[in-house]
Chain A
Amino acid sequence: MNRLAVELPGLQLKNPIMPASGCFGFGKEYGALYDLSQLGAIMIKATTLETRFGNPTPRVAETASGMLNAIGLQNPGLEGVMENELPWLEQFDVPIIANVAGTETADYVEVAKTISTAPNVKALELNISCPNVKCGGITFGTDPQQAHDLTAAVKAVSEVPVYVKLSPNVTDIKEIAKAVEAGGADGITMINTLVGMRLDQKTGRPIIANITGGLSGPAVKPVAIKMVYEVSQVVHIPIIGMGGVAETADVIDFLSAGASAVAVGTANFVDPFICPKIIEELPAKLDELCVEHISELVGRSHRI
């Protein structure tokens, strides 16, 4: 028995560890460092209908145990991803979760329709939570009705299960979670980054050219854990948890909070080998916790 194997809608994961969207490009850079087949899955960088250059620089700023970014969904567009990025990833035995972004519903629908036909794309991750683009993105993720309708529209055309990535920048994330579940979502991924700012000490001006950026890294983990804890108790669909995962112990926390699998984001920048390292360390961690299979840990924070 594989102690780490996890089954989720559309996804047969050999382990519950996957790089988070936006922190791993389309895999090429990390593929030069290790065999990507070791990963449970890969969440590729957001794909939009057209090519996007993204925001002006500076696009990143370090903060206490974290970082702000405002990349702005730079990507080669649907055609480029379908023709170059996804075929390249086919050499690896790893399911791809395609992050889909757009400005309006029609964009999301068109990208979802096409990208879900790629042979290695086993699930979609609907990006309704990017804080760094002016239109679309987060606007869909902060209103329950809009989140519901977009989920339903994408679900209607997708060939694979649809996960929705939630924003923490809302008053009550449970409402959004319930709305996307009602809209037909097969799963939830959470959390995206928290909106923040950093100022230059000398000039007093914002460091990031976009003025605001999304906060990630170990600093946001307590927020993410709290939200996974809450949401996992009000929906019946699985959660892929993320937000500040930097070491094996963090994975245990997310599972305990109620996530069924865990994504690693910013930590890939700190240590490009972090995903395989965590995967290697997990069995010993299970032994330490006297657990036979990793799924036994899911939701134990609120288990009666």
Chain B
Amino acid sequence: MIIQDRMKVTGQKKIAENIFELKLTGKLVGEINSPGQFVHIRVTDSFEPLLRRPISIASINEDKSEMTIIYRAEGRGTTLLSLKREGEEVDVLGPLGNGFPVHETLPGETAVLIGGGIGVPPLYELSKQLTAKGVKCIHVLGFQSAEVSFYEEAFKQLGDTYIATVDGTKGTKGFVTNVMETIGDDFSTYYSCGPMPMLNAVQSAYTGKKGFLSFEQRMGCGIGACFACVCETTEKTDKEYVKVCSDGPVFPAGVVSI
């Protein structure tokens, strides 16, 4: 169920250039049902900036009722969010949307998780849940440069992890697709989150494979009412359009027209 929760900040840490890791506790955590869901955060109690910020959930700790989100402090809203300190409260609406289907990969099978930039975070909780049930995870993470890369060690704890950076300052120079060419296609499922050109490249490279893609789109309400975040669909679905916020953000590969 979607709830509005005044969550308490239990930690705020800069983990890379302009990239922050924020930990929040509250009863909202108990409502999260799949990795890849997101929350809609109001960064101020005033009306400036006005709208909530949609941010994906990077990991959850049910025992502590705690979730971690990772975001890039880029605009006015996320910069204000980065100033929140331990003990402060934040107005959070969520959990929103439909996450990655963990059940689509069986124990003993292999899954490839491909993330780009600020699309990497939700893959972390996904990998935790997949590996916990006995799925072998291979991670391919793309960043602009070493200084904005994060969570390499955390992903390594869960499975093979390959990094690509556009400027070559870490891992393979180039894009996630350059790494994907080297790991072959001996896997059952792929899961991906990142910018649209990356999702397009991943989907094209893995034609015929079972895959799930998480999309990003400018949002208004976050719950499906305002029709800001609609995407056109392909003939693979009966729907003429989908809303990223409430039908997604995760869709089976091939459903959204990229």
Nearest CB of chain B from residue A243's CB, rounded to whole Å? 14
Nearest CB of chain A from residue B109's CB, rounded to whole Å? 35
- Contact B228 A71, beta carbon cutoff 8 Å: yes
A-B contact count (CB 8 A): 96
- Contact A270 B226, beta carbon cutoff 8 Å: no
Write out, one digit per residue, whether chain B residues 209-231 have a CB within 8 A of any chain A CB (1) or not (0): 00000000111111111111111
- Select B50's contact among A22, A59, A65, A74, beta carbons within 8 Å: A65
- Contact B50 A62, beta carbon cutoff 8 Å: yes
Contacts of A67 in B (CB 8 A): 50-51, 220
- Contact A57 B93, beta carbon cutoff 8 Å: no
- Contact B47 A268, beta carbon cutoff 8 Å: no
- Contact B225 A25, beta carbon cutoff 8 Å: yes
- Contact A270 B52, beta carbon cutoff 8 Å: yes
Q: From residue 134 to 166 of chain B, which have CB atoms closer than 8 A to chain A?
A: none
Q: Known: A57-B217, A61-B218, A268-B221. Is A23-B226 also a contact (CB below 8 A)?
A: yes
Contacts of A22 in B (CB 8 A): 226
Contacts of B231 in A (CB 8 A): 57
Q: From residue 103 to 135 of chain A, which have CB atoms closer than 8 A to chain B?
A: none
- Contact B48 A64, beta carbon cutoff 8 Å: yes
Q: From residue 50 to 72 of chain A, which have CB atoms closer than 8 A to chain B?
A: 51, 53-54, 57-62, 64-67, 69, 71
- Contact A54 B227, beta carbon cutoff 8 Å: yes
- Contact B221 A62, beta carbon cutoff 8 Å: no
Count chain B residues whose beta carbon lies closer than 8 angstroms to a beta carbon of A: 30
- Bound form: Cα–Cα A24–B227 in Å: 10
- Select B230's contact among A25, A28, A33, A54, beta carbons within 8 Å: A54
- Contact B228 A272, beta carbon cutoff 8 Å: no
Q: Known: A57-B217, A246-B47. Is A71-B226 also a contact (CB below 8 A)?
A: yes
Q: Judge whether B63 is part of the interface by a CB distance below 8 angstroms.
A: no
Q: Judge whether B240 is part of the interface by a CB distance below 8 angstroms.
A: yes
Nearest CB of chain B from residue A120's CB, rounded to whole Å? 19
- Contact B220 A69, beta carbon cutoff 8 Å: yes
Contacts of A161 in B (CB 8 A): none
Nearest CB of chain B from residue A109's CB, rounded to whole Å? 25
Secondary structure of the A contact surface, majority rule: loop
- Contact B225 A270, beta carbon cutoff 8 Å: no
Write out, one digit per residue, whether chain B residues 84-95 have a CB within 8 A of any chain A CB (1) or not (0): 000000010100
- Select A272's contact among B223, B227, B229, beta carbons within 8 Å: B223
Nearest CB of chain A from residue B204's CB, rounded to whole Å? 22
- Contact A60 B49, beta carbon cutoff 8 Å: no
- Select A65's contact among B47, B217, B228, B241, beta carbons within 8 Å: B47
A23-B226, A67-B50, A271-B4 known; 9 other A-B pairs, CB under 8 Å?
A28-B224, A53-B230, A53-B241, A54-B227, A57-B229, A64-B48, A266-B50, A270-B50, A270-B52
Q: Which residues of B contact A (CB under 8 A)?
A: 2, 4, 42, 47-52, 91, 93, 217-232, 240-241, 246
A-B contacts, 26 of them at CB < 8 A, read A23-B225, A25-B227, A29-B223, A29-B224, A30-B223, A30-B225, A33-B223, A51-B240, A59-B227, A59-B228, A60-B219, A60-B226, A62-B49, A65-B47, A67-B51, A71-B226, A74-B227, A74-B241, A246-B47, A266-B50, A268-B221, A269-B221, A269-B222, A269-B225, A271-B4, A271-B91
